[in-house]
């Protein structure tokens, strides 16, 4: 199922360039990036550090303005965005439940409905019993799960993941891949994720785009036609190995 | 167990203070107008309490302190927030702010009394001025320390300016803000007394000066103890706020 062949894009990025002004010099972070993301597609950007991956997500999230080019959504409303950051990025003074409810609070959703949705997500990300804990009492993996639940609660049109598992240990990270994969399957989300891990991208994505070193350009666009649900053992298949090799050689 | 023990120690140190004081009075054998005994002060306290003068003057000072603290804090948090948000504004205003701190409040208190009269207003303004700077500095530090990724989070969720203020900036900087209020609360008591000592017809500072002029040293002691009580009450109020709002 080559989803990108279907012409139902949720997100269209056209000729996107981003420059940053330093004191004296100009840094070209991204140069002429164009791509589409289909509805319910999981797209992963892979690239070395300094390839402008995070900048790309920040432009899509409307946190920074591009120097030229455009990001267009094909929704009939302002797209709702759920973002997961490199660090859990939780509010230290709010409990797990209150942190997860934040996006609904900003939308002035009724309290009872918000509590109910938050409790469902707490169940989904496996944090039952920690509703009233404060972020300082959570492990790194648990905190990141709160971040994921918070990004999902307002039923966003687009999920943006910025190396969400980079700060976790290997075992926790792989468990989180499984969980995220299941959640995205269940919730049918459109996802754009950036990472520098080949394994992570192949485990999660429908499509992987490789960015070059700064200024970031798209070097490779690969379909990941590995069967879902993806399993741990999949990593030892030839198909996986070939894809990984292809991606590896594209990364400088 | 441990907290009750430390409370006992605090109580013990207060209780030991009075006999020690009595002992010094007896050994030194100083006249009453130089060093009154605890009993003299207690008798004076009861007398002032019964004729109503003590409560009257204390409440005047308390109102001055509270209004000054409120006005100073309100003004300082608003200005502090604007300074935290705008480096330009900070550059323009900082010379005046630093200069204002170089002038001791004692030096401008007489001016303020001349301009604003010897009533409550001049004292409230003096309190507000003395409270202003520490609260201002803490507001700037607190607001600047708000984590930038949390702003990204709020913006990615399309939070409004007001939502960012109430859901992020205020709760995030509250611990530092209350720290400033704690310093301000005790300074405010000093401000009121400085103002009253310059010129006043009422308040604990007035009572203090009256006792001094009349060689009624016991009265001076009573006034000082009431000031301590005021400062402790204010300090306790800030601590209650911290307990309520900070997890």
Complex prediction ipTM: 0.89
Expressed as residue numbers, the domain containing B193 is 33-245
Tell whether A144 is covered by a domain.
yes
DSSP structure string for B58-82: HHHHHHHHHHHHHHHHHHHHHHHHH
| Residue B1 pLDDT class (50, 70, 90 cuts) | low
The DSSP letter of residue B47 is H
Q: What is the dihedral of CA A244, A246, A248, A249, to 10 degrees?
A: 160
Report the residue from A63, A91, A105 with minimal CB separation from B156: A63
Percent of chain B with pLDDT over 90: 76
- What is the mean predicted confidence (pLDDT) over B86-93? 90
In angstroms, the separation between the Cα of residue B160 and the nearest Cα of chain A is 8
Residue A94: closest C-alpha in chain B: B247
Expressed as residue numbers, the domain containing A98 is 90-154
Contacts of residue A40, Cβ cutoff 8 Å, sequence gap at least 6: A3, A10, A188, A189, A190
Instruction: Tell me whether strands A9-21 and A158-162 are parallel, antiparallel or unpaired.
Output: unpaired
Q: How many domains does chain A have?
A: 1
Question: Do residues B172 and B146 touch, judged by C-beta distance below 8 A?
Answer: yes
| Residue B80 pLDDT class (50, 70, 90 cuts) | very high
In angstroms, the separation between the Cα of residue B84 and the nearest Cα of chain A is 20
B137-B141-B144 Cα angle (round to 5): 135
Tell whether A148 is covered by a domain.
yes
- What six digits make up the tokens of A231? 């399993």
- A58 neighbourhood in chain B, CB within 8 Å: 152
B116 and B177 in a single domain? The answer is: yes
Tell whether A138 is covered by a domain.
yes
Tell whether A171 is covered by a domain.
no
B101 and B5 in a single domain? The answer is: no
Residues in chain B whose beta carbon is closer than 8 A to a beta carbon of chain A? Answer: 147, 149-150, 152-159, 163, 167-168, 171-172, 174, 246-247
- What six digits make up the tokens of B82? 């604007």
Report the residue from A87, A93, A154 with minimal CB separation from B247: A93
CB contact burial A202-235 (16+ within 10 A = b; e otherwise): bbbbbbbbbbbebbbbbbeebebebeeebeeeee
Per-residue model confidence as pLDDT tens for chain A (252 residues): 444 455 678 899 998 899 888 778 888 888 888 999 998 899 999 988 777 888 999 999 999 999 999 898 888 888 899 999 999 999 999 999 999 999 999 999 999 999 999 999 898 888 899 999 999 999 988 999 999 999 999 989 999 999 988 878 888 788 888 888 888 888 888 999 999 889 899 999 999 999 888 888 888 888 988 888 788 788 888 888 888 888 888 887
- Cβ pair A85:B152 closer than 8 A: yes
| Alpha carbon separation from A36 to A122, A222, B121, B217 (Å, rounded) | 32, 13, 67, 86
- Cβ pair A154:B155 closer than 8 A: no
Q: Does A91 touch chain B (CB under 8 A)?
A: yes
CATH of the domain at B143: 1.10.3720.10
- A61 neighbourhood in chain B, CB within 8 Å: 152, 155-156
B113 and B204 in a single domain? The answer is: yes
Residue B192 and residue B123: Cα distance in Å, rounded? 5
Tell whether A116 is covered by a domain.
yes
Tell whether A108 is covered by a domain.
yes
B8 and B111 in a single domain? The answer is: no
Question: Do residues A208 and A247 touch, judged by C-beta distance below 8 A?
Answer: yes
B70 and B186 in a single domain? The answer is: yes
B73 and B10 in a single domain? The answer is: no
Residue B142 and residue B171: Cα distance in Å, rounded? 10
- What is the mean predicted confidence (pLDDT) over B99-117? 89
Give the number of other CB atoms < 10 A from CB of residue B5: 8
B4 and B93 in a single domain? The answer is: no
In angstroms, the separation between the Cα of residue A90 and the nearest Cα of chain B is 8
B116 and B193 in a single domain? The answer is: yes
Beta strands in A111-237 (DSSP E): 158-162, 191-195, 207-211, 218-223
B215: left (phi over 0), alpha (psi -120 to 50) or beta: left
B188-243 confidence digits (pLDDT tens): 999 999 999 998 899 999 999 999 999 999 999 999 999 999 999 999 999 999 99
- Which of A167, B170, A188, B149 minimizes the C-alpha distance to B157? B149
Tell whether A49 is covered by a domain.
no
Instruction: Provide the edge-to-edge strand list for the sheet that holds A9-21.
Output: A26-38, A9-21, A68-73
Q: What is the pLDDT of residue A215?
A: 83
B159 and B94 in a single domain? The answer is: yes
Q: Three-state DSSP class for A120?
A: helix
- Cβ pair A106:B157 closer than 8 A: yes
- B177 neighbourhood in chain A, CB within 8 Å: none
Q: Three-state DSSP class for A71?
A: strand
B104 and B139 in a single domain? The answer is: yes
Q: Three-state DSSP class for B100?
A: helix
In angstroms, the separation between the Cα of residue B239 and the nearest Cα of chain A is 18
B5 and B103 in a single domain? The answer is: no
Tell whether A120 is covered by a domain.
yes
Q: What is the dihedral of CA B179, B182, B185, B191, to 10 degrees?
A: -70
In angstroms, the separation between the Cα of residue B155 and the nearest Cα of chain A is 7
Q: Does A62 touch chain B (CB under 8 A)?
A: yes
- A91 neighbourhood in chain B, CB within 8 Å: 150, 168, 171-172
> Whole-prediction pTM value?
0.84
Question: Do residues A127 and A98 touch, judged by C-beta distance below 8 A?
Answer: no
Q: How many domains does chain B have?
A: 2
B21 and B93 in a single domain? The answer is: no
Instruction: Tell me whether strands A158-162 and A81-84 are parallel, antiparallel or unpaired.
Output: parallel
């Amino acid at each position: 199922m080559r989803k990108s062949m279907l012409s139902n894009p949720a997100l269209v990025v056209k000729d996107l360039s981003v420059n940053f002004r330093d004191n004296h010099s100009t840094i070209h972070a991204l140069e002429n990036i164009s791509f589409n993301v289909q509805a319910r597609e999981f797209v992963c950007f892979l690239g070395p550090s300094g390839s402008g991956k995070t900048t790309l997500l920040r432009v899509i999230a409307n946190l920074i303005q591009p120097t030229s080019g455009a990001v267009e959504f094909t929704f009939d409303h302002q797209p709702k965005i759920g973002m997961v950051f490199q660090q859990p990025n939780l509010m230290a003074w709010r409990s797990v439940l209150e942190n997860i409810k934040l996006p609904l609070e900003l939308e002035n959703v009724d309290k009872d409905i918000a509590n109910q949705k938050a409790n469902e997500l707490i169940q989904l990300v496996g944090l039952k019993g920690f509703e009233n804990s404060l972020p300082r009492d959570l492990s790194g993996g648990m905190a990141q799960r709160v971040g994921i639940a918070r990004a999902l609660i307002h039923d966003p049109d687009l999920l943006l993941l910025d190396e969400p598992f980079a700060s976790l240990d290997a075992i926790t990270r792989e468990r989180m891949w499984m969980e995220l994969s299941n959640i995205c399957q269940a919730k049918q989300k459109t996802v754009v994720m950036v990472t520098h891990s080949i394994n992570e991208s192949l485990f999660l994505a429908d499509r992987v785009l490789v960015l070059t070193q700064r200024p970031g350009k798209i070097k490779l666009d690969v379909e990941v036609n590995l069967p879902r649900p993806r399993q741990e053992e999949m990593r030892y298949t030839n198909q996986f190995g070939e894809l990984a090799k292809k991606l590896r050689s594209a990364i400088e | 167990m441990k907290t009750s023990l430390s409370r006992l120690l605090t109580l013990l140190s207060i209780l030991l203070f009075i006999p020690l004081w009595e002992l010094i009075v007896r050994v030194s054998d100083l006249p009453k107008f130089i060093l009154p005994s605890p009993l003299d002060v207690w008798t004076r306290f009861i007398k002032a309490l019964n004729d109503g003068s003590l409560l009257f003057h204390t409440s005047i000072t308390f109102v001055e302190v509270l209004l000054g603290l409120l006005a100073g804090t309100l003004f300082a948090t608003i200005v502090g927030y604007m300074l935290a948000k705008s480096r330009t504004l900070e550059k323009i205003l900082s010379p005046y702010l630093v200069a204002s701190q170089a002038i001791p409040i004692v030096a401008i208190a007489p001016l303020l009394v001349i301009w604003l009269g010897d009533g409550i207003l001049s004292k409230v303004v003096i309190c507000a001025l003395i409270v202003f700077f520490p609260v201002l500095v803490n507001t700037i530090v607190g607001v600047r320390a708000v984590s930038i990724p949390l702003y990204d989070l709020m913006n990615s969720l399309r939070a409004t300016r007001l939502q960012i203020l109430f859901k992020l900036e205020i709760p995030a900087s509250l611990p530092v803000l209350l720290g400033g209020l704690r310093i301000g609360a005790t300074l405010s008591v000093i401000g009121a007394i400085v103002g009253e000592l310059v010129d006043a017809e009422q308040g604990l500072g007035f009572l203090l000066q009256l006792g001094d002029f009349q060689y009624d040293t016991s009265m001076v002691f009573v006034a000082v103890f009431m000031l301590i009580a005021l400062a402790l009450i204010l300090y306790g109020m800030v601590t209650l706020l911290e307990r309520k709002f900070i997890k």
